[in-house]
Structure 1
Amino acid sequence: MEFAEVVRRRRMVRDYDPDRPVPDDVVERLLAHAIRAPSAGFSQGWAFLVLETAADRDRFWAATAGEGAPDGWLTRMRRAPLLVVPLSHKDAYLDRYAEPDKGWTDRDEGRWPVPWWHVDTGMASLLVLLTAVDEGLGGCLFGVPPERVDALREAFGVPTTHTPIGCLSIGYPGPEDRRSPSLRRGRRGLDEVVHRGRW
C-alpha cells in the first residue's frame, strides 16, 4: 500500500474479529517499526508490554477496567486479539543528556520544555498504528485511567520507572466497528492550523 493511502486509511478501530489472531510475523513487524521512531539524543526511552494470550488480555482488562458488566465500547474493544502497552522511560532521557557529548552535567528535569519521553513513545505508537493499517489491520490508542495505573503495574510487574502512555488494541476490524461520534466535528483544515511565516 502506498504511504499516502496508509495515512488516509488510518483511523481508530473499536471492534475486532476475535477469531482472527494477528499473525506472529505481523506482530514482529509492528514492534520492529515502533523502534524506528525518532527519539531525543537517540535515548530510545520506550518499552512495549505485548499481550497476546487470552489470559494476559483478561488480566489487562481486569486491572484497567475493573469489575462489573462492560459497556458496549468495552465489549467491542475486549475482542482485540493483541494489546500493546507503550511505556515511556524518563530516566533514559535524563541519563542520556547527562552524558559528556550532550553538555549537561546533571539530570535536571527542568531543562526539558516538554516531556520528550512521552512524545517519542507516542511517535513509536503511531508507527505501530500505521503499520497495522499497512498490514490490513485496525488499531486504536486509548488511555489507561490514572487510578488504574498501579493495578496495571502490579498485574504485569511494570516498574515505576516506566509510564504507560495508553494502550494499543490491534486486530482485524469486526462487524460492529463504529466511527466515533466525535468525527461529526469534521477535520480541521490546513487553513485553520497552518501559520506560514508568522501566526
Structure 2
Amino acid sequence: MEFADVVRRRRMVRDYDPDRPVPAEVRERLLEHAIRAPSAGFSQGWAFLVLETPEERDRFWTATTGEGTPDGWLTRMRRAPLLIVPLANKSAYLERYAEPDKGWTDRDEARWPVPYWDVDAGMASLLMLLTAVDEGLGACFFGVPPDRVAAVRAAFGVPAEYRPVGCVSVGYPGDDDRRSPSLRRGRRPVEEVVHRGSW
C-alpha cells in the first residue's frame, strides 16, 4: 500500500472480529516499527506491554473499567485480540540528558518544555496504528483512566518508573464498527490550522 493511502485510511477502529487473531509476524512488525519512532536524545524510554491471551486481556479490562454491564463501546472494544500498552519512562530521559553530551546534570524536569517521554511513546503508538492499516488490520488508541493506572501496574507488575500513556487495540475490523459521532464535526481544513510565517 502506498504511504499516502495508509495515512488516508487510518482511523480508530472500535469493533473487532474475535475469531481472527493477529498473526505473530504482524504483531512483531507492529513492535519493530514502534521502536523506529523518534525519541529525544535517542533516550528510547518506552516499553510495550503486549496482551494477547484471553486471560491477559480480561485482566486488562478488569483493571481499567468499572463493575457492571459494559456499554456498547466497551463490548466492541473487548473483542480486540491484541492489546499493546505503550509505557513512558521519564527517568530514562532525565538520566540521558544528564550524560556528558547533554549536560543537564541536575536532572531538573522543569528544563523540558513538554513531557517528551509521553510525546515519544505517542509517536511510537502512531507508527503501530499506521502499520496496522498497512497490514489490513484495524486499531484504536485510547486512554487508561488516571484512577486505574495503579490497578494496571498491579495487574501486570509494571515497574514504578513506567507509566501507561494509553492502549492500542489491534485486530481485524468487526461487523459493528460504527463511526464515532465525533466525526460529524468534519476534519478541519489545512487553511484553518496552518499559519505560514506568522499567526
> Shared fold by TM > 0.5?
yes
Between the aligned partners of 1:56 and 1:145, the Cα distance in structure 2 is 18
Scaled by the length of structure 1, the TM-score of the pair is 0.99
- What amino acid is aligned across from residue 102 of structure 1 in structure 2? K
Q: Kindly report the root-mean-square deviation, in angstroms, between the aligned alpha carbons of the 2 structures.
A: 0.5
1:103 is displaced (CA, Å) by 2.2
Determine if the alignment matches structure 1 residue 104 to structure 2 residue 104: yes
CA-to-aligned-CA distance 1:145-176 (integer Å, 9 cap, x gap): 11111111100001121110110000000000
Equivalent position of 1:136 in the other structure: 136
Q: Which runs of structure 1 show a deviation greater than 4 angstroms over 4 or more consecutive aligned residues?
A: none
1:104 is displaced (CA, Å) by 1.8
Q: Residue 101 of structure 2 aligns to a residue in which SS?
A: helix
Equivalent position of 2:161 in the other structure: 161
Q: Tell me which moved more, 72-81 or 159-168.
A: 159-168
Equivalent position of 2:79 in the other structure: 79
Q: Residue 66 of structure 1 aligns to a residue in which SS?
A: coil
Equivalent position of 1:26 in the other structure: 26
Equivalent position of 2:91 in the other structure: 91
- What amino acid is aligned across from residue 99 of structure 2 in structure 1? E
**Runs of 5+ consecutive residues of structure 1 not aligned to the other structure:** none
1:66 is displaced (CA, Å) by 2.8
Between the aligned partners of 1:66 and 1:185, the Cα distance in structure 2 is 30
Determine if the alignment matches structure 1 residue 124 to structure 2 residue 120: no
- What amino acid is aligned across from residue 110 of structure 2 in structure 1? G
Between the aligned partners of 1:66 and 1:21, the Cα distance in structure 2 is 26
1:105 is displaced (CA, Å) by 1.7
**Runs of 5+ consecutive residues of structure 2 not aligned to the other structure:** none
Between the aligned partners of 1:70 and 1:105, the Cα distance in structure 2 is 48
Between the aligned partners of 2:46 and 2:103, the Cα distance in structure 1 is 23
Equivalences for residues 34-45 of structure 1 within 5 A: 34-45=34-45
1:67 is displaced (CA, Å) by 1.9
Equivalent position of 1:171 in the other structure: 171
Scaled by the length of structure 2, the TM-score of the pair is 0.99
CA-to-aligned-CA distance 1:102-122 (integer Å, 9 cap, x gap): 122221101001000000000
1:68 is displaced (CA, Å) by 1.2
